[in-house]
Every structure is written in C-alpha cells, then in structure tokens.
Amino acid sequence: MLGFPQGGIPAHPVSCARPVGRVFMAVYGLAYTGLWMALLSPILVGLAMRVRVIDPAHADDSLSLVVGVGALTALFANPFFGRLSDRTTSRYGMRRPWLIGGALGGAAGLMVVAQAASVAQLLLGWCVTQLAYNAQLAALAAILADKIPASQRGTVSGIVSISLPLGMVCGTFLVQALVDSTLAIFMVPAAIAFACALVLACALQDSRLASVQRAHYGWRGFLGSFWINPLRFPDFAWVWSSRLLLFAGVAVLLTYQEFYLIHQLHCPPGEAPHRIFVSTLVQACMLAAFSLLAGSFSDAVGRRKVFVSSAALVYALALLMIAVTDSYRWFLVGMAITGIAQGTYLAVDLALLNDVLPERETQAARNLGIFNIASVLPQLLMPAIAPGILAASGESFTALFVMAAVLVALGAWAILPVRGVR
C-alpha cells in the first residue's frame, strides 16, 4: 500500500530481503531516470547555454570551472550523504527523507542556475544541485542493497543502468522542446525528478534505525566516510578498481569524441554536433538493450565475474577499433560495441558489487557512495592526463584511445581476483 508507514520495519533487514514485484522495479527505475534527467540535462546542454549568456567572452573557461568544481563536489557528496543516510533515525525511515530532501534541494539549486546573473551565482547553484542530487543518489543506491535480494540484483541493476541513457535522451528532448524558456529548461526536469522520487518514497517500505543503534559520529567518522580498507575488504577494492579503470576509458571517449571526429576523421566542425548526436543515440540504444538482457541472464545463470570481465575486455577492443578507424561508419560500429559492453558491464557490475558489499547491515549507503567515487574520479583525472599524452604523441588521438583501451583492459583483469562471488 502506498503512503508513509507509521510503524516502519526494523533497520537493516537485508539478510531477509524478499523478492520485489515488477511495479516496484519500475518505480525504482523511474526515480533514477528522473534524477538523471534533472542532473545530466544541464551538463549536456543547459550549463553551456547559461554560460554563453552570462560570460560570452570566456565561455569555455567558465564552463570548465563550473563543471569541474561541480564534479569535485559530487566526488565527496555521495559518500558523505551516504554515511548520513545510514545514520538517519527519522520516523519516516533511513532513505525516504534523503529521497525527498535531495529532490527538493536539487530543484532549488537548479532555480539558482536558471536565474544566475554571474558565473559565481551559476557556480553556487550548480554546487547546491550536485550536493542535493548526490544525497538523493546515495539513498537510491542504498535501496538496492537494502531491499533487493541477490536473485534479483542483476535484473534490477539492468533497470538502473537503462535509466542513465533514458534520462539523457528524455532530458535533452525536453531542453529542445522548452528552448524558449530558460526557467522551464531547468525546472521541468527538476519537477519530474521530484515527482518520481515522491512516488518511490510512497512505495518504499523503508527501514527505521533506532537512536540507540546509531554509533558516535566525530571527525574520525567523517574522514572514514571516504575510505574503506582494501586489505580488510579486498573484493570491494578490486571491484572499485575495475570501475575506475573502465570509466577512465569512458571519460576519454566522451570528452575527446568531438576533437577526434574533427582531427582524425576530418569531420567539418559544423557537422560534429549532429554526428555526436547520432553516435550517442546508437550507443545509448545498445546500452539500454544489453543492460536489461545481461542483468537478467546473470541472475538466471548465477554468475557475475565472467560478464563483467568480458564486457570490459570488449569495451577495450571497441576503443582499439575506434583508435585505428579512418571512417565515420566504422566509428559508429565501434560506438555500438561500446554501448553493448558498457550496458553489460554496468548492469552486472552493480549486482556484483552488492553481492560483495562490506558492512551491508550498517553502512550500505556510505560504502556505495565510496564506490561511486570510481565513476566520478576519472572525469577529473583523464582531462588532466590526456593533454600530456597528446603532446607526447604529436597530437595523435590514436595514441590517446590506445592508452584508454589499455586502462580498460586492466579493468577487465581487476575482476578476476574477486573471491566472494562467481
């Protein structure tokens, strides 16, 4: 039954998690989709539009500043708010307040972004947006660990993976449809994200934590929000490393795709945006299709490692294909293969992570937040490393993509030492 339960259920019922129905899976996926719509639409389109209006003379530098500081904010926000979610003793549960509060805070941040009259105001609004939506994201991720039994984690992880490309496509469609209203560009996706979070909050049978169960939280606890001992939890460390290495390749492909098309495939600069849209659409379709297929198949056969490791290796091979191709047609083939590989990897990797997640009963959200650092950190590291690779190789994008392929291949190898799951 929908609605906030007055009694709730005991905290951390993970060990006896019962199978969830398709309606809950759909609502959970919609909450993720709404969040990605609100958070990624500004990154893909909205922020660049605002920067060109606010500071047209230094648009590139200002956009880099806003996006970079926002990514750094997200890097720390997810595990920090995950720790707070794990310690929440609200009568409404541990995750529900952060679902609703994060969606409201994100909408407030986007309101500031939409009305900003200076780069400083834009930066402030975007940092508030990142803080709030990463608080919501931490709660969303914890629900997978809290409520989804091992037999369904592949399927639900596949649905979560589909939400990313779906949110990107729907968000950019809304931006194009609402292009005449700056306020609507940001606030309509924010409203959809809030509505989806509210539906999930009503459907969720949230766990409740008694005050006596909450441990002391001081400076040591705060610093511990960003660290898990790899010697104590080696499986988590290997899965974290694999995600970091795969997303290093993803970051290179996304960041330098336009320059690659112009300089290596000799695409006219005016045609690059359209070609990027086509390639992104091809990749997103493959990602969405194979996320659900791979997640469900992984549940059926009861195996994770072979899917994750093989998918990373295929992604590395696709990057090599892109590195050496001299035609846009074969570039699209390579992008399609990256979509297949990334969809398979993300769906099963998330399920694998939840199978080996340390301290699940007490710190699920915090530990999932630390895991999310592996997805965000390459967005900061690779743009700093890539210019050196290009300079040393005579501006060779082949060398850059080969380097990315090597990193992703190492990510495939990093799954092999995991012992806690097949």
Query: Are 249 and 303 part of one and the same domain?
Result: yes
pLDDT digits (tens, 9 = 90+) for 4-51: 333 344 444 444 467 888 899 999 999 999 999 998 888 767 787 788
C-alpha dihedral, 197 to 199 to 201 to 206, nearest 10°: -130
The answer to the question of residue 281 being in a domain is yes
| End-of-domain residue from the set 193, 209, 225 | 209
Q: Please list the helix, strand and coil fractions of the chain in percent, rounded to the nearest 5, in that order.
A: 80, 0, 20
- 66, 122 contact by CB (below 8 A): yes
Checking if the pLDDT of 219 tops 60, the result is no
Distances (CA, A) of 396 to 378, 383, 389: 21, 15, 8
Query: Are 166 and 280 part of one and the same domain?
Result: no
> What is the rounded average pLDDT for all residues in the chain?
82
Residue 86 to residue 365: CA distance in whole angstroms: 6
- Please tell me the predicted confidence (pLDDT) of residue 112: 96
pTM score of the predicted model: 0.72
Residue 56 to residue 20: CA distance in whole angstroms: 50
Checking if the pLDDT of 218 tops 70, the result is no
pLDDT digits (tens, 9 = 90+) for 322-336: 999 989 999 999 999
User: Any idea what the CATH number is for the domain that residue 153 is in?
Assistant: 1.20.1250.20
> In degrees rounded to 5, what are phi and psi of residue 142?
-65, -30
Residue type, 260: Y
Least confident of 214-228, 252-266, 282-296: 214-228
The answer to the question of residue 2 being in a domain is no
Query: Are 174 and 252 part of one and the same domain?
Result: no
Number of structural domains in the chain: 2
- Please tell me the predicted confidence (pLDDT) of residue 89: 75
The answer to the question of residue 328 being in a domain is yes
Query: Are 261 and 405 part of one and the same domain?
Result: yes
Checking if the pLDDT of 375 tops 60, the result is yes
Mean pLDDT of 280-284: 84
3-state secondary structure of 207: strand
- Please tell me the predicted confidence (pLDDT) of residue 223: 56
The answer to the question of residue 222 being in a domain is no
The answer to the question of residue 350 being in a domain is yes
- 379, 323 contact by CB (below 8 A): no
Residue 331 to residue 266: CA distance in whole angstroms: 13
Mean pLDDT of 296-301: 80
Query: Are 42 and 179 part of one and the same domain?
Result: yes
Query: Are 241 and 174 part of one and the same domain?
Result: no
Share of the chain above pLDDT 90, in %: 32
- Any alpha helices (H) in 205-325, and if so which ranges? 219-224, 234-263, 272-301, 305-324
Query: Are 311 and 369 part of one and the same domain?
Result: yes
Residue 401 to residue 410: CA distance in whole angstroms: 14
Query: Are 194 and 252 part of one and the same domain?
Result: no
Domain that holds residue 238: 234-414
| Count of helices and strands (H, E) across the chain | 14, 2
End-to-end Cα separation, the chain, in angstroms: 37
- 245, 408 contact by CB (below 8 A): yes
3-state secondary structure of 208: strand
Among 310, 267, 286, 271, CA closest to 397: 267
Residue 251 to residue 257: CA distance in whole angstroms: 10
pLDDT band at 64 (very low <50, low <70, confident <90, very high): confident
Query: Are 241 and 367 part of one and the same domain?
Result: yes
| End-of-domain residue from the set 209, 244, 273 | 209
Q: What sign has the CA pseudo-torsion 205, 100, 343, 169?
A: positive
Beta strands in 9-101 (DSSP E): 9-10
| Structure tokens belonging to residue 70 | 């926002």
> In degrees rounded to 5, what are phi and psi of residue 207?
-80, 150
Among 401, 381, 216, CA closest to 322: 401
Residue 331 to residue 325: CA distance in whole angstroms: 7
The answer to the question of residue 10 being in a domain is no
Share of the chain above pLDDT 70, in %: 88
- 95, 67 contact by CB (below 8 A): no
Query: Are 199 and 249 part of one and the same domain?
Result: no
Tally the residues of the chain: 422
The answer to the question of residue 78 being in a domain is yes
3-state secondary structure of 92: coil
- Please tell me the predicted confidence (pLDDT) of residue 15: 43
The answer to the question of residue 9 being in a domain is no
- Please tell me the predicted confidence (pLDDT) of residue 215: 60
Helix pair 305-324, 234-263: axis angle to 10 deg: 20
Query: Are 250 and 177 part of one and the same domain?
Result: no
Query: Are 199 and 108 part of one and the same domain?
Result: yes
- Please tell me the predicted confidence (pLDDT) of residue 34: 95
Least confident of 27-36, 355-364, 370-379: 355-364
